[in-house]
């Protein structure tokens, strides 16, 4: 397969085998360290596997984000979005305002509304329930993709509910799916540095598996490029792979590269300044080799990577370009240059220019419309 490239025979063997079987964690760690010809061969293999499994279609969704408050009692060291309750510039949308924005989003073509916010001291699980009920009352057909595992964990504990009961209440109120955020890096040593007050690795796994068992699918994410090493990244991917083997509830995997510029842990000198392009591409490629068709959809985030590099990462095993994203606030606070709504025509152009097939999808990848 790599006759034009002079590459290490052991890496070559791993890559050739990876077209027929999943790679082990040890093999993934080796591949994450490749450079030069081995790097080129890795990217080519991931792209070939993507083609074998998903074909040439590259999807995206017309969606809208509503971040209803930036007031948060959390203290994640990578977060430039949160404000303290007394901060003059903080905001807290009331539910009427959230509903108004959702109606506006739908009128502009959004079929999914993603609702998330900070851990406001005055809210609980029943506040989340009311948001869902009120939006669904006005827009019964809209897909509500809402509340991170941390928000559900927080809301449940504020309302004295088990995770199971909290998820049942949200599902009955119209929750369609949940973002698999708050995962960051699923290793408690890393979490104690970057997000000491967030739910633990085991709590995250338990919450996600409970959601899947209750019929609420989630995305899966990883936020990397701060204090973790390659072993932690692979350990994280292995955790996601094992969850998917047990539940089948992940719709996609979304790597989120650390935005360092305004992050407290970077300003304090604890974190490195994000990833390099090579690291990002290797992460996409290794994820494809580990997940194969188990988590079929691998998404590049143009908000984090920018349009040009997101396009390039679609050649490293990915098959989805995310959403049109009206109102993305969190990445912009963190220092991303992108994150304002982009029209479908822009995403379509990027995909077509690669010789791939642009298509719009829904949240669960069930309705794929070629453009």
Footprint of ligand SF4 (CB under 6 A): 72, 74-76, 79, 81-82, 118-119, 150
CB of 58 to ligand SF4, least distance (A): 29
Sign of CA dihedral 153, 157, 163, 167: negative
Q: How many angstroms separate the CA atoms of 336 and 118, rounded? A: 19
CB of 75 to ligand SF4, least distance (A): 6
Phi, psi dihedral angles at 76 (to 5 degrees): -65, 130
Smaller CB separation from ligand SF4, 43 or 79: 79
Q: Can you list the alpha helix ranges (DSSP code H) found in the chain?
A: 9-18, 25-32, 36-54, 95-107, 125-138, 149-158, 163-172, 188-194, 201-213, 230-247, 264-267, 277-291, 302-305, 307-313, 330-333, 344-353
Residues paired with 113 in a beta bridge: 64, 144
Smaller CB separation from ligand SF4, 208 or 289: 208
Smaller CB separation from ligand SF4, 60 or 258: 258
Smaller CB separation from ligand SF4, 264 or 344: 264
Residues 313-327, buried b or exposed e (16+ Cβ, 10 A)? bbbbbbbbbbbbbbb
Quick one: which of 116, 228, 221, 229 has its CA closest to 175? 116
CB of 153 to ligand SF4, least distance (A): 10
CB of 81 to ligand SF4, least distance (A): 5
* Sequence-distant (≥ 6) Cβ neighbours of residue 48 within 8 angstroms: 19
3-class secondary structure, 362? coil
Tokens of 56: 């040439």
Q: How many angstroms separate the CA atoms of 200 and 189, rounded? A: 10
Quick one: which of 209, 220, 124, 199 has its CA closest to 166? 124
CB of 197 to ligand SF4, least distance (A): 8
Smaller CB separation from ligand SF4, 27 or 184: 184
Smaller CB separation from ligand SF4, 79 or 359: 79
Tokens of 320: 């989805």
Q: How many angstroms separate the CA atoms of 44 and 49, rounded? A: 9
Quick one: which of 339, 320, 319, 337 has its CA closest to 329? 339
CB of 165 to ligand SF4, least distance (A): 22
Smaller CB separation from ligand SF4, 72 or 305: 72
Smaller CB separation from ligand SF4, 79 or 351: 79
CB of 79 to ligand SF4, least distance (A): 3
Smaller CB separation from ligand SF4, 118 or 180: 118
CB of 246 to ligand SF4, least distance (A): 26
- DSSP character for 370? E
Smaller CB separation from ligand SF4, 81 or 341: 81
* Sequence-distant (≥ 6) Cβ neighbours of residue 49 within 8 angstroms: 18, 19, 288, 289, 292, 317
CB of 290 to ligand SF4, least distance (A): 26
CB of 71 to ligand SF4, least distance (A): 9
């Amino acid at each position: 397969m790599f006759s034009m490239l002079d590459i290490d025979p052991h890496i070559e063997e791993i890559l050739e085998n990876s077209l027929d079987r999943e790679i082990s964690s040890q093999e993934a760690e080796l591949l994450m360290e490749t450079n030069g010809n081995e790097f080129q061969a890795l990217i080519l293999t991931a792209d070939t596997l993507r083609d074998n499994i998903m074909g040439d279609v590259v999807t995206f969704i017309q969606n809208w984000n509503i971040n209803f408050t930036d007031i948060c009692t959390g203290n994640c060291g990578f977060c430039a979005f949160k404000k303290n309750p007394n901060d003059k510039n903080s905001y807290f949308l009331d539910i009427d305002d959230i509903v108004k924005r959702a109606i506006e989003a739908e009128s502009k073509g959004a079929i999914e509304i993603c609702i998330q916010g900070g851990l406001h001291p005055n809210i609980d699980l029943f506040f989340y329930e009311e948001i869902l009920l009120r939006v669904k009352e006005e827009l019964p057909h809209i897909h509500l993709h809402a509340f991170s595992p941390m928000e559900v964990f927080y809301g449940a504990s504020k309302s004295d509910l088990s995770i199971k009961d909290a998820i049942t209440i949200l599902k009955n109120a119209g929750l369609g799916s949940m973002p698999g955020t708050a995962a960051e890096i699923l290793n408690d040593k890393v979490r104690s540095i970057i997000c000491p007050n967030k739910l633990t690795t085991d709590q995250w796994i338990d919450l996600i598996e409970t959601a899947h068992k209750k019929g609420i699918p989630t995305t899966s994410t990883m936020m990397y490029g701060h204090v973790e090493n390659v072993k932690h990244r692979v350990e994280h991917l292995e955790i996601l792979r094992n969850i998917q083997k047990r539940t089948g509830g992940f719709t996609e995997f979304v790597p989120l590269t650390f935005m360092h510029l305004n992050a407290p842990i970077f300003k304090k000198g604890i974190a490195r300044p994000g990833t390099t392009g090579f690291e990002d591409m290797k992460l996409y490629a290794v994820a494809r080799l580990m997940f194969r068709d188990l988590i079929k959809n691998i998404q590049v985030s143009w908000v984090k990577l920018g349009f040009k590099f997101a396009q390039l990462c679609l050649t490293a095993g990915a098959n989805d370009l995310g959403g049109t994203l009206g109102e993305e606030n969190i990445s912009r606070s963190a220092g991303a240059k992108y994150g304002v709504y982009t029209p479908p025509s822009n995403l379509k152009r990027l995909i077509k220019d690669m010789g791939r097939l642009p298509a719009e999808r829904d949240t669960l990848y069930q309705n794929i419309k070629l453009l």
